[in-house]
Amino acid sequence: MAVEAVRPAPQAAPTLVRQLTWWILVLPVAMVAALITHWFYLLNYTHVMAGAMWTGADLFLGFIFAPIMRRLAPEQRKAIIAWLVPRTLLYMPVVAATTGTAGWYLAEWLGYFSPGSPQHPWVLAALVVLTLLSVQGFVIMLPNNVRIWLELKRPQPDLGKITRLNRINLSLAGFQGTFQVAIILVMAHLALG
């Protein structure tokens, strides 16, 4: 007698709230605690940790993940995008905002904004790169990710639209990675102070 394989019942897709990377909120909470208590070490830690997580994600997405995605079939890309996009909707803005905000306060506490400081030009360079990263991330990439997520929720998602929006984001991820390398050069100089 043949035994039929029992297939599990299809499960509903998890809601966006369940897919978000809520644990990342530990970083801005730690940053706020550092600002309230004026704890330099904790502020520096949150800046470095958020920066490492932001930079690592940008470098991975731009230089490793993007070339792989370009070689996949549309259905494969859709499956990966459906999993990845909701997880980055909170993660990327939080690490970006925490890095920049903590860095601003560190520069202020260290007196680097003073035009007489030898670090002043380096802080200005960091602000220029941070502005470019933030505009790309918050003005283009984040809205594109929201559009992709909304399109994926439709009964018949437009794979062409998803691919087009994702292609823009993947191209920008390469620029983000390049800018991240530039800001690491600036940060390395500031760390040597």
In this predicted structure, what is the pLDDT of residue 163? 84
46 touches 30 (CB < 8 A): yes
Question: What residue ranges of the chain have pLDDT lower than 70?
Answer: 1-13, 16
79 touches 45 (CB < 8 A): no
pLDDT in tens, 147-159: 988 898 888 988 8
pTM of the entire predicted model? 0.83
pLDDT in tens, 53-95: 999 988 888 888 888 988 988 888 888 888 888 888 889 999 9
Q: Which residue has the tokens 């925490």?
A: 98
Torsion of CA 125, 127, 130, 134, to 10 degrees: -140
| Of 184, 102, 179, the residue nearest 135 (C-alpha) | 179
In this predicted structure, what is the pLDDT of residue 58? 85
User: What sign results for the dihedral spanned by CA atoms 177, 94, 89, 11?
Assistant: positive
Q: How many CA atoms lie within 13 A of 75 on its CB side?
A: 0
Mean pLDDT estimate for the chain = 88
Identity of the amino acid at 42? L
